[in-house]
Amino acid sequence: MVSVNLLLNAVVAGLLVGGFYAAVTLGISVTFGLLEVVNIAHPVFVILGAYFVYAANATLGLDPLLTGALLTPLFFGLGVGVYRLYYACFERKGEEALRGLVFFFGLLFIVEVLLLLRYGVDYRLVEAPYLGKTITLGSVGIAYRLLIPCLVGVGLTLALYFFLSKTYYGRAIQGVAQDSLALRLMGVNPVTVKAIAFGLGVATASLAGALLILIGPVEPSLGREYIGRAFAIAVLGGLGSIGGTLVAAFLLGVAESLTATLYGPSWALAVSFGALLLVLALRPSGLFGR
């Protein structure tokens, strides 16, 4: 019989991991939910961010969170460049459906191979003074390596929500998702707005990569585990709903944690794909979909 303390710890761990899942999924919510660009290469940007953080930590001793924050402008520019290339080669010609999907598949494997050639298949980790510490609240242990990514993930979600709802460019991004022609008639270039939105999605991936390597060691192919999970959270929360993404991330994190506790960790990843199929069948618009 499973003890109450074990279940309580599993729920708390699931909530903490869910906050991190939200950070990973935000870029998908923007690019797929608002721009309708199926960027399946998004997790590889997370892994790339993690390796940049590892390199800075190993060579210069920089704090992982600080490095992740400093990397966001670089990854924003990278995202803008990737979208410009995608637009010029596919979207402008109306070939974004299948060929655009192949483009992102190719990008995913190219980056993964480059990381393999540079770092090999060995797991890499970072060092920081707060890693390894734990807070104990009653019978519940809360590890800093999970607490910090959760808090940063929630903060990043709130920041993105307010950016999209309160700023000029944020409203323009939502406008291009609803009616790009009307936006063009107002004197705004939809391509520029989409490039900014895509860059924003990739920038969140760099910070998510810093959080990922705080939680545990990484290797180049680790991003594949997050493809189905990130899309499942985006669809479950409702495409384009930032608040829904956070709620769905918490739900999926708790579901995976309870599954791993009760039935073993090998079943945890199946929860993501099961949730994705269930939501697509019963409620395609998601929990908070328009």
pLDDT digits (tens, 9 = 90+) for 17-26: 999 999 999 9
| Closest alpha carbon to 111 in 51, 188, 158, 153 | 51
The residue-averaged pLDDT of 66-84 equals 94
Predicted confidence (pLDDT) per residue in 90-140, tens digit:
877 776 667 778 888 889 999 999 999 999 888 999 998 888 888 888 778
Q: What is the mean pLDDT of residues 246-271?
A: 84
For the chain, the domains span: 4-282
CB 246 within 8 A of CB 154: yes
Long-range contacts of 76-79 (CB under 8 A, 24+ apart): 76/199, 76/200, 76/202, 76/203, 77/199, 78/45, 78/199, 78/202, 79/45, 79/198, 79/199, 79/200, 79/201, 79/202, 79/203
> In this predicted structure, what is the pLDDT of residue 289?
63
The residue written with tokens 């940049």 in the block is 52
Proportion of the chain above pLDDT 90, given as a percent:
44
Above pLDDT 70, what percent of the chain?
93
